[in-house]
Structures are given as C-alpha cells and as structure tokens.
Structure 1
C-alpha cells in the first residue's frame, strides 16, 4: 500500500463510540470507520459517554486505538440529569401527536407550537439551548474541529439531532458528509434544524424512504448532492454443529430495549399471544434494558449486553427476528437477520421496515396483536421449502443491496466531492 498523505485523512463524528455500545448509529459508525481505515487515515471524534441519555463520561478523555482506528474522546461538559429529564418530558409530550400519524388535530397542535416558536425574538438561542440540553456537550470537540479542520479531507457526521453534529457542521460545512439517520419523529420537524440541514456538502441516506422523508420535512436538502448507501454486511460463517443456547422455540429482539423502540408493546403482544394459545414460546431480548416498567413473564428472557459471538449464536438458532420499532432509518439488525437467512417479523407502521420486507420477500408484517399472533404462527409452521425460500430471498436481498464494496465506492465518491 502506498504511503498515505494528509489529504487522505478523514474524521467521523458520532455521539458515542465503543465495543459495548449496540445502538444502531454507533454500530454503523464503528463498522464504517473500520472499513474506511483500509483506504484512509480515520479519526473518530466522540464523547466519553457509554450511556444515553445520561452522557456519563464513562470513558477517559483523550486518545485510544480501537481495531486500528484512532478514537479521540471529549468530555461531556453539560452532564445534567435535570436537563435530560426536561428533554424527556418534551419528547413524551410530543409523542402522542406522533404515534397515530399527523391527523388534523395533530397538525393544528404542531402548527401552533411552530408559530409560538418562530414568534420568539431569540428563537435561534432557544433552539441552541435545546440542542445543548440534548447533548453530549463536547465543547472541546467543537474547538478541535475549528482549529484542525484543515488537517482533514472530509468529515462524516452521524445522526442529525445531537450537539456534535449540530455545532460541528457549522465549522466544517462544505467539507462534510451528513448521515442523518432521520425517521418520522417530532423533533425532525423543528424549524431550528433548517439551517443545519443546509450546511453539509453531501448527504448519505440509508434508504429512499429516509431521503423522501427528510426532503419533505426540510426542502433545503433537495439542493444538496446525495446518495443511498446504508451499511454493509459480511456473510456469516456458521458452525453447523453449535448447540442452541436454549431448548425451547424462541424469537429474538436485538437492540436497545426501550419504550421508544416499541419494546413494551412487543412484550405485551408476546405475553398475550402465549396466554391466549397456552404456549411457552420464548422471546429473547438482547441488549441493554432501559425499561422502567415491563411485563413480568417467564417466557421473556433478558440477556443484557452480550458479545458478538453469543449474539450470533442466538440469531443462528432462533425461529425469527422481531423488530418492533415504528421509527427506523435503516435497521441494521433486520438486514443482519436476513443475511443469516432468518425470517423477520417487523412492525408494519415503520415505512423503512415495510419496504425491506416487501422488497426482500423475507419476512412478515404486523400492525396489532391479532396480526402478531397470526404471523408468529406462520413462521413457526413454515415448511422446509418455505424456510429455504425465505432464507434465499433474505440473503440475496442483503447481498445485492448492502455489500461493503459498493458502499465504500459510494463513500469514495462523496469524500472526493466534498474534499475537492
């Protein structure tokens, strides 16, 4: 490999970064960084936090090497639980206008809030304070970006609503690639984001659904060059002789266990289905549990955060993956399950998941508890041929649309474009 020069240096900015973090944006950032390092000198700029939304400064500030990637960590200087709770109340207050879609009443309510916001003389500062409350407040990171921006050919920002992206883009603008990870949530429609979405030189969307959503919410993005990339997957190497981690038929949920991810609804549906049909089907929930209240059911198993090998073992032997979120910009775990040849049962209210299922023909959709029960039955009663068809469809879909080689080619083009 030829010696790299300074213009081959890029920075990836993401709110959290670490092996123990299994959030979609954070895993996406880590996988991309570890692929791009083969062609570029990659620095990851991130916070010291492990927990969201506590921003706990778990990791020491400074530099470390992780899987060949240089990681620069900056302390969150705004760690304040009161502010975090206030943000939580704001989001919960808007949630009810959001789950049922934008009805006339919801539209009127949201419109009144927008008018109130825009009439405030200092609405720019109000919005900036809201971003600060969202965190993580890494002021030294922003200073670093301002002072060192000429070292880098390009900056890749993950996730639109966080402090590092919002304030970082203001200093690197045209040299930046934004991966917004947008989904249909109340904060996306806040007018304060309009300026931020006008700043990147390139926007890399995960799906066409995400592109259409963002261009509708913030038309300024239509003028910015963009493409679709997502994240890549390697075909798994499976040990055919491995033993199932549990003996009962089971489904898996993988990811952050949170109300916002539809987990409480999923647990209720699963428990109701088992009771009504006198079953003992298991649901294995893999990931950190953020639920304060949850359904107590012996058929629902929490593993906590587990290593990659153990996670893949659960996925290899499951009857299928259940993805319960209504709000996804890509859903890496859905694509991972498809690459394993596993059927996916997805929340049909999420447009991204619905399109994955319809295009791949590798799974099923549910909208309520009755649908849920019917689709679980379909998966459990698939014939050997039916299982093979779904497995083939899923693997072909993941291979065709989410190959690393093609994704890196797209990032090469974007990096050259903003770094020209």
Structure 2
C-alpha cells in the first residue's frame, strides 16, 4: 500500500536519477516501460538513488486506474504515482489523431491530441515543475507526461525517445518536447538516424546509443519449458504485445504454413499475445513468470520478432544472450540493423519467407547454433549494464550547467 509523503524532498545524491514514465510496474506489458524498469533496477544495484515518477494507470488503451496514488517501493526503487485525471476514449482519440496528422498545422489541435493521448496527469506535471534539481529521464516520447513534463522539469533533462516511424513523431508538440531535452539517449543507431532526419535540430544535442543491458541467467534448462507444457518437437517463440504494428497476423500465418509442412513446428505465444485459445499449430501460454520465460527462450528453435515498428527489441537481445537465433521483421529498420550487425538473425518480408526460414533452422541446428553464438557475442559487446551506466554518466557530464 503506498505511503503518504509530503512534496518532493529527494536527497541531492551524487548518483541520483528521476525516471518519468506513463505507467510502471511488473504487470505493465510495454517495451519502453519495461526497459525503464530494468534500467531503474540496474542503476539501483550500482548504488544510484533512483526514483520513478509515474501515474496510476496500467492499460494504455484507456488509462484506467489500476494503482493507488502515493508512494510505494518496487524493491530498491521508490515509485511515486500520480492520479490520471481523464481516461482515454479510443473513438475520440482516433478522430483527434486524424485531425492532428492530416489537417493544416493551425487546425490540428495538437495540445488537445496530447491530452487525449494521455495519460493526462496534471498533478505529475505540477510536481515536476516544483521538483528538486535531480537529473530527470523521460521515456517514451509519445505520451503526455513526456510531452509536457519534459519542458516543466528541472535540468538536466534526458529523453529516451523509443521512437519509430509514425505520424505522431512529426508533430510540433513532439518537436517542442525534444528540443526541451538537454540530451537524447537512443536505443539504437537507426532510432538516432530517424529522429535526426525528422527533427534535424536535435542533432545539436548530446546523444548516446544503447540504454539497456541484458542479464541472462546461467543455469536455464532448455528442455524444461517443453516438458512442462507437453510440447513435442521444435517450437518457435514470441512473447509480447498484440498492439498495431506488432505483426501477429504474419506470425500466425507463418505458423499455419509450418504446421502443414514437412518441418512441422509449434508456435508458442506468451504475454498479451499468449491470451486466447490454442489451435493445432499455436500454443498460447498466457503470461509467464521470469524464470519460465527464460526457459521458453532457451528451448526455442528461434525467437520471432514480427513487429514492424520497433525502437528496440528486448526479446531479441534476450534471445541472443541465450544463444538462440532470431527471425526479425525486415520492415523495421532497427531489427534489420541488429540482424546485419550481429549475424544472429535473418529478416523476413512475409509469412511464407518466415516459415521457410524457420523450416531451414529446424533442419540445420548447427547453423541455428552458430547464429545464436554470433548474437550472444553482439549483446555482450554492446548491451551490458556497465556500458549503459557509462553512457549515462557521459551524457550527464555533457549537460552539466
């Protein structure tokens, strides 16, 4: 139960960080939010004083209240939750988005769009405007706490955009927020290039690439998941959200093709994608605990990341850290870049190509192992927590006022 606490009285610790996200918690399914939670815990383990400022919402579709306003703890991390003043109405937001993306700029109503986008929490914005001058990190760029909290917060302000190519990235309210940042911290080289192309002025800001690290457990039984769920034969694994741009339809079509081929395989889905009814070719296992999720990754022939709009795939990094190959959507510049740099995966354009690639890896386990080993080396060289901490320190030094 959150405790009551007076207004911000944070200590001015040499290694202190405030992280602002629209929603936060173990139950939150979202790549950007998950990345920030991992960062908070990783820095806390390195003796940083980390607070997370967020809202009471959990559901991005409506921003319904799921947590109690106030202060609570997530292990070593102090979490401050502020109430959401307005729930999102999907039909209204869709119409405001059409206006914001297509009307002439004076008629777009971008401020109204950002409020409807939510989660609208005036208390959070007000608290940021009065907060102690602790370095403040915002992510992702898209939501109201970042768009209006970033200009209100004390310096230094660091933005982790978690951007992908979408109409919202081109809005003036987004440009204003980005230029309010003192530094930009990107998940990938491709994300950095995208933001610089759309908002060239951001190129003058200090920046770095590589926000997260991956800590893979070392004693995972690669056969445990299949035994527990009575899966006979090879399987592909995907765990994550089912929102637009996540490519679930392509993945399911590929699973159906594999089921009728000589290289029959089961498609295992977890997380939001894992809610629902099984079919002969698809095993839906719901939300997995952390240990079981690692077991599912370790035992898979390959991990599939079917989304076309990605700023980073934590799932791909986790797969490579376990030495498993990845099959990645070629429409995502970020995923294609990871595949090219790592040698740990192939990219696909459609369901038939995805099915053919999976069948080849099933028939050629030595090649799958070699790809997984290349991916493991890539993650070890690029996505470590000590490197992420070093990048953060460098950004803070560059923004010293």
Q: How many angstroms does 1:88 deviate by?
A: 4.0
1:58 aligns with 2:58: no
| Equivalent position of 2:302 in the other structure | 320
Q: How many angstroms does 1:241 deviate by?
A: 7.5
Q: How many angstroms does 1:350 deviate by?
A: 0.7
Cα distance between partner residues in 2 of 1:305 and 1:186: 31
| Equivalent position of 1:267 in the other structure | 252
1:299 aligns with 2:281: yes
1:343 aligns with 2:325: yes
The TM-score with structure 2 as length reference comes to: 0.90
Q: How does 1:20-99 map to 2 (within 5 A)?
A: 20-37=27-44, 38-80=46-88, 83-88=89-94
Q: 2:342 aligns with which of 360, 364, 371?
A: 360
Q: Unaligned stretches of 5+ in structure 1?
A: 95-109
Could you say if the C-alpha distance between residues 251 and 306 of structure 1 is closer, same or farther in structure 2, counting changes exceeding 3 Å?
Answer: same
| Equivalent position of 1:97 in the other structure | none
Q: How many angstroms does 1:215 deviate by?
A: 0.7
Cα distance between partner residues in 2 of 1:313 and 1:339: 13
CA contact (8 A) 1:251 1:318 kept: yes
Q: How many angstroms does 1:269 deviate by?
A: 2.6
Q: How many angstroms does 1:236 deviate by?
A: 2.4
Of residues 258-267 and 177-186 in structure 1, the stretch that sits farther from structure 2 once superposed is 258-267
CA contact (8 A) 2:305 2:327 kept: yes
Q: How does 1:376-391 map to 2 (within 5 A)?
A: 376-384=358-366, 386-391=367-372
| Equivalent position of 1:15 in the other structure | 22
| Equivalent position of 1:398 in the other structure | 379
Cα distance between partner residues in 1 of 2:266 and 2:176: 47
Other structure's SS at 1:182 match: coil
Other structure's SS at 2:62 match: coil
| Equivalent position of 1:285 in the other structure | 269
Cα distance between partner residues in 2 of 1:163 and 1:353: 27
1:258 aligns with 2:243: yes
CA contact (8 A) 1:197 1:220 kept: no
CA contact (8 A) 1:257 1:290 kept: no
Cα distance between partner residues in 1 of 2:216 and 2:245: 30
Could you say if the C-alpha distance between residues 407 and 36 of structure 1 is closer, same or farther in structure 2, counting changes exceeding 3 Å?
Answer: same
1:144 aligns with 2:144: no
Q: How does 1:196-207 map to 2 (within 5 A)?
A: 196-207=177-188
Other structure's SS at 2:176 match: helix
Q: How does 1:146-225 map to 2 (within 5 A)?
A: 146-148=129-131, 151-172=132-153, 174-225=155-206
1:231 aligns with 2:212: yes
Of residues 294-303 and 224-233 in structure 1, the stretch that sits farther from structure 2 once superposed is 294-303
Deviations 1:191-223 (A, max 9, x none): 332211111000001111111100111112111
Q: How many angstroms does 1:7 deviate by?
A: 5.0
Give the helix-richer structure, 1 or 2: 1
CA RMSD of aligned residues (A): 2.2
Q: How many angstroms does 1:174 deviate by?
A: 4.2
Cα distance between partner residues in 1 of 2:219 and 2:274: 31
